[in-house]
Chain A
Amino acid sequence: MVKVLLWGSLRQATDGLTEVEIEATNFKQLLDRLGEAYPGLQPQIKRGVSMSLNGVIYREAWFTEIPPDSEVVLMPYMTGG
């Protein structure tokens, strides 16, 4: 299981939780299963999210492996100027 930290305003879609546990070994699985477990997250996932894995931000790489005991943080989809 991967512990996923969510930003605060997503907790309305996760029964008040800002950290949830999901069975996933890569980013795509994580997104798919987050959406299944918490359908209220689907609009945000559709709009776009990035993932921080052990402090490194991955913008959209679906098949980034998530090793056990990793720190996983869901973040808004990165943009810039």
Chain B
Amino acid sequence: MSLDEYTRREFKQVGTRVRRPDGVDKVTGRAMYGADATAPGMLTGRILRCPHAHARIKSIDVSAALALKGVKAVITGDDFAVPEDDFIRDVQENCMARGKALYDGHAVAAVAATDAAAAKAALKAIKIDYEVLPHVTDVDEAMKPGAPVVQAGRVQENVPKGYSENVTAHFEFGHGDMEAGFAKADKIIERSFKTAATHQGYIEPHACLASVTSDGKADLWCCTQGQFYVRTLCSSIMGMEASQLRVTASEIGGGFGGKTTVFIEPVALMLSKKAGRPVKIVMSRDEVFRATGPTVSSSSDVKIGMTKDGRITAGEATLRYQGGAFPCGTTEFGCSAAFAAYDLEAVRTYGWSVLTNRPKEAAYRAPGAPMAVYAVESVVDELCLELGLDPLETRLKNAARKGTKSSYGPTFPDIGLVATLEAAKAHPHYKAPLKPGQGRGLSCGFWFNFGGNTCVSLNVNTDGTVGITEGNPDIGGSRASISLMAAEELGIPYERIRTIVADTSSLGYNDVTDGSRVTFAVGLATIKAARDAIKKMSARAAKIWGIDPEAVEWKDGAAVPAGPNAGKFPPMSLAEIAAVSAETGGPIAGHYEVNADGAGVSFGVHLCDVEVDRETGATKVLRYTVFQDAGKAVHPDYVEGQMQGGAVQGIGWALNEEYIYGPDGRLQNPTFLDYRVPVASDLPMIETVILEIPNPGHPYGVRGVGETGIVPPLAALSNAVSHATGVRMTELPMSPPRVLKAIGGT
């Protein structure tokens, strides 16, 4: 396809801060989340989870559970057919173990009963004979020859000989002569880093209601980032035709990438199929932590050379990511993102994907990038400190810009990194004085963004209002942004448009809400659907006027004659055309379907000030400013919210959040009490500065903004804490005990 190129225009509605359409429902409790779904005759589903890090399932006896009053169905892995496709098989086996349980919390059986008490009793009555196997949860340990093998036979052809079978993939990116690059350096620093696995921390746990009928049709209501993808996965796992499974997405209480796959939905469908009644499953928080998808944990080595005047001569990074018990899919993006902010003659990244006895990783905002950029930006900061250079000027000197050959291969088109750095340099925050014991940190960040499969219908109602049907759950304000773009294009007030998220039977396929794609791709499709409707409305006006359709143009929400030769007719508004649509040819609707490309990469820069309590090791964030290129901020409140949310999640990742495993391989902190996410009282107001460097691949210049914001905080915080303490921090999270140990406290 040809890209839908940006054309400069003066916006009338895009860029305004209109009222969000979901606000009242959410603050009054009316909004329907996953757990709110009900159906007549509904059963309660519960899942039994393995208490061992790694165990062979020798036998499962469900007879006692089935004999209990109120128990209507019990299933195990054997109830599912083995999918032929490796990927689908992994998804299915992550939902329900077959033969071996691969991590603490891995589902091994499930029940459906008339109430929660009966379901709980049934879980207790299931007898499983386990053979406990050796386990491994640390990425470096898992790579060693002789480490317990999590799954055999998963090694890709790109892995050199001599590694454990847990090493499933190897990547290398980069260009240039590394030896010559390092030879030009006046200073070379090599450091090793570790980051913990963190969870997306969405407040709403996974929940679904499945109803399978005896004639093979099924309905599924669930909280998800992608109802169409849920349909693809579940219909494949259940052996159903996609047309027979309708999936409806609920309102969503946070996803951040973690709701881009399925965990409980196939289980609920299978229980419903077996019981012949609807089955609802709602995960507990313990289950969310133990059995959904956190991000990878990492171990990495970075080596960077720099001249005395701050030119980076070469950069090399080796990244080792563990993605849990199934092959990891983010290492390559860490490798690609690590040095993306820099214009380098010599750069190389090496990546290793590793299996461990942990839950299967799921995407988490810019998957794979934060931990890679953390390591690189920490070394860049240390080089600046050692050479007495300004860290922002040094980044400007080395910044990637239009024409730079990126570290992952392509030559950058128009990008906004330099403008973002300049904005940070000009901001009062950068020069604000610091007190003793305080430190300031800076980091760049990068994410790719993409477009993807998108389908939009825009219906012109006879009263002059407009309904938009789109297929992506609204996790970041997309309904408001989509309505705004339609209002801009149609020339009618935002308030006259309502955008809804359709189920899978009501619209063509839409990719998952991920990759920061929705405002870009669904926005693009909405603009095109609006233009399609405008074309049809102009044709209706032409009929009424008795002139050629080409002699009509659309201006300020109305059809008007295109010029003096077209005739003299008063403008016909959208409402006037819609009111007579039955008489002029029937309903009017615009449609657009596309697999959108040209999303445009995104850069951000974060600045933060911290103070470290040397007695307790606790870090307080004093000030935090985010600078990010949004291309065009369609609804600035939501853009700022994305930037603030990314920063806050990154602050949690940097300072406190971590999956802690005991020697037995079991997760020690599966609650929000022990897994410490930052709350409002921990944080200063996150200041935001939106840059608008138009994306040439979108009619309004939009770039995705959902993911880049989580990339810089890890290094920004680490650099700030390092400056505050005088000790280079190399492991996340920088929790109080770890900081105390690093600075020599007790």
Contacts and interface: CB of A to CB of B under 8 A. Distances in A.
Given A12-B158, A78-B448, A81-B260, A7 B707 contact: no
Interface in B402-450: 408-413, 447-450
Contact of B595 (A9, A55, A59): A59
A64 B450 CA distance: 16
A12 B708 CA distance: 33
Contact of A80 (B332, B413, B598, B707): B707
Interface string A31-62: 00000000010011000000010111111110
A73 B599 CA distance: 17
B186 to A, nearest CB: 27
A12 B260 CA distance: 33
B367 A80 contact: yes
B517 A61 contact: no
A57 B514 contact: no
SS of B interface (majority) = loop
A58 to B, nearest CB: 5
Most buried by B among A5, A13, A52, A79: A79
B412 A55 contact: yes
Contacts of A58: 597
Contact of A9 (B171, B257, B366, B411): B171
Given A9-B158, A54-B411, A76-B332, A81 B598 contact: no
Interface in B1-33: 1, 3
Contact of B598 (A40, A56, A73): A56
A24 B597 CA distance: 20
Interface string B174-207: 1000000000000000000000000000000000
Give chain B's interface residue range (CB within 8 Å of chain A). Answer: 35 or more
Contact of A81 (B156, B367, B451): B367
Contacts, number: 105
Interface in A6-28: 7-10, 12-13
Nearest to B512: A80
Contacts of B595: 59-61
Contact of B410 (A8, A44, A73, A76): A73
Contacts of A56: 3, 413, 597-598, 697
A52 B365 CA distance: 22
Nearest to A56: B598
B408 A61 contact: no
A80 B602 CA distance: 13
Interface residues of A, number: 29
A60 B511 CA distance: 13
B410 A71 contact: yes
A75 interface: yes
Given A7-B172, A8-B174, A43 B156 contact: yes
B329 interface: yes
A79 B598 contact: no
B170 interface: yes
A25 to B, nearest CB: 15
Contacts of B411: 54-55, 71
Given A9-B170, A55-B413, A40 B157 contact: yes
B707 A75 contact: no
Nearest to B517: A80
A43 B333 CA distance: 19
A80 B158 contact: no
Contacts of B597: 56-59, 61, 64
B746 to A, nearest CB: 39
B1 A64 contact: yes
B172 A9 contact: yes
A14 to B, nearest CB: 12
B299 interface: no
A57 B695 CA distance: 13
Nearest to B515: A80
B448 A80 contact: yes
A38 B407 CA distance: 24
A54 B1 CA distance: 15
Interface string B255-277: 01110100000000000000000
B450 A78 contact: yes
5 contacts: A8-B173, A8-B348, A56-B597, A71-B410, A78-B450
Give 4 nearest A-B pairs by CB, closest first: A81-B257, A80-B515, A8-B172, A81-B363
